[in-house]
Amino acid sequence: MSLVTTTDATFAADVLDSPIPVLVDFTAAWCPPCVMIAPVLDRIATDEAERLRVVSLDVDAHPATAASYQVLGMPTLALFIDGEIAVRFMGAKPRAAIMALLEPHLAPAAQRVGGPPAI
């Protein structure tokens, strides 16, 4: 599976209007840490598909969205829940570190949308 991409034109529908939490990877093709983290995010997208969507936004191709969220370094990851940023962090991290940052926000979000409780 490869990450779903979003654009300036589709960001609102893909992310802000999503009924489930969305982790946005603000990335760039020239960014080595972004390339390193891509397989980790792909794995999270597969493993957590019932609780979370993971999308990628190329900041060079779609600068308006990146600018509106003041993304200055890559990779920047932001978890959106109900159209708002719940948590935001920068840099390539291992899966366990990313999930540790996301988990406190995913359990309450799953309960709001009637999903399964976090394990």
- CATH code, domain carrying 54: 3.40.30.10
Whether residue 75 is contained in a domain is answered as yes
Residue 54 CA to residue 42 CA, distance in Å, equals 8
Whether residue 118 is contained in a domain is answered as no
Whether residue 117 is contained in a domain is answered as no
Q: State pLDDT tens for residues 16-57.
A: 999 999 999 999 999 999 999 999 999 999 999 999 999 999
Q: State pLDDT tens for residues 70-85.
A: 999 999 999 999 999 9
Question: For the stretch 30-58, what's the b/e string if a residue is b when 16 or more beta carbons lie within 10 angstroms of its beta carbon?
Answer: ebebbeebbebbeebbeebeebbbbbbbb
Structural domain count, the chain: 1
Catalytic sites, residue numbers: 31, 34
Whether residue 40 is contained in a domain is answered as yes
Residue 55 CA to residue 1 CA, distance in Å, equals 12
Domain holding 29, by residue range, is 4-112
Whether residue 8 is contained in a domain is answered as yes
Whether residue 17 is contained in a domain is answered as yes
**pLDDT-derived band of residue 58, with 50, 70 and 90 as boundaries?**
very high
Whether residue 94 is contained in a domain is answered as yes
What is the largest distance, in Å, between two alpha-carbon atoms of the chain?
A: 40
Whether residue 49 is contained in a domain is answered as yes
